[in-house]
Amino acid sequence: MSENVEEYLEAIYSLNERSELAKNQELSERLKVSPPSVSEMIRKLSEDGLISYEPYKGVVLTGKGMARAQKVVRKHRLLERFLHDRLGLRMDKVHSEACMMEHGLSDEVAAALCDSMNSPKTCPDDAKPIPACTLDVSGCESCKVARQKDEKLHRLVTQLSNLRPGEVGKVAFLRDAGQASQRIMDMGLCLGTPVKVVKSAPFHGPVEVSVRDTTLALGRELADKIYVEVENGIPEPPHPHRPNAVIVK
């Protein structure tokens, strides 16, 4: 991705993480670009399947867009923590410095940076959460082994709850599922299984999915525990007359 695209995805992520659709005017002010430039980029991001646009309301990241945005935001906030905690930069400098560095930071170095700081959970700027690691690891030691083997460092992975209607992902791993792990697998959501989102509202409510010709509606908290590798497809519009499914919490 170009730095310009990454900056847009990062800005949309910052608004979406507050459970808000990102509006063109807000993006224009945040990125200091003209409204026509924002409109043109929104059109491009939508065509590339990175965002879903609701006319007169705003935009939300798709699963593919979220997976890319999480990589950039994670690097940015890890860099802020490193610059502030390890290098002692003042708070009024860490954001701009991290902005310049994030685009050139590889996934491998970002993982090593996280490891060196004992996996920090928040950045120093307003204690915003650092997006979760999307490697299938149980901790820093197994992360180090994965990096040495270059295991799946570059996959596009995000939570199932972030996919929009029409998007398809492949179950990559479960995280913090605990006793729900067996129940999730019993529903057919085993590792490597393709899953398609049929219906989902941004930020809240159940996520209706199609798995092995069966339709399920997962509670959002459960869908948050299922990490999927997203495919490079463009989401299709949801079917307006699809019947409701049983919700699994």
- Average pLDDT of the chain is 88
Indicate the class that CATH gives domain 157-248. Answer: mainly beta
Distance CA 199, CA 236 (A): 11
Provide the CATH topology of domain 3-61: Arc Repressor Mutant, subunit A (1.10.10)
Sequence ranges of the domains in the chain: 3-61, 66-148, 157-248
Between 237 and 226, the more confident residue is 226
Supply the pLDDT for residue 178: 87
Note the CATH architecture for domain 66-148.
Answer: Orthogonal Bundle (1.10)
Q: Is the pLDDT of residue 245 over 80?
A: no
Q: Report residue 219 as tokens.
A: 């509670």
Under a CB-based contact definition with an 8 Å cutoff, are residues 46 and 53 in contact? yes
Q: How many CB atoms lie within 10 A of CB 26?
A: 17
Residues 6+ apart with CB under 8 A from 33: 27
Supply the pLDDT for residue 154: 72
Task: Write out pLDDT tens, residues 71-98.
Answer: 999 999 999 999 999 999 999 999 999 9
Task: Write out pLDDT tens, residues 108-156.
Answer: 899 889 999 999 999 997 889 999 888 887 777 777 777 676 656 678 9
Q: Side-chain half-sphere of 223: how many Cα atoms within 13 Å?
A: 27
Strand 51-54 relative to strand 58-61: parallel, antiparallel, unpaired? Answer: antiparallel
Under a CB-based contact definition with an 8 Å cutoff, are residues 36 and 24 in contact? no
Residue 55 to residues 24, 34, 38, 128, 195, Cα–Cα distance (Å) = 11, 19, 14, 29, 28
Between 64 and 1, the more confident residue is 64
Task: Write out pLDDT tens, residues 159-204.
Answer: 999 999 999 999 999 998 888 899 899 899 999 999 999 999 888 8
Q: Is the pLDDT of residue 60 over 60?
A: yes
Contacts 24+ apart (CB under 8 A), 15-18: 15/58, 16/60, 16/61, 16/202, 16/203, 17/128
Global pTM value:
0.87
Distance CA 140, CA 75 (A): 16
Distance CA 80, CA 96 (A): 9
Supply the pLDDT for residue 155: 83
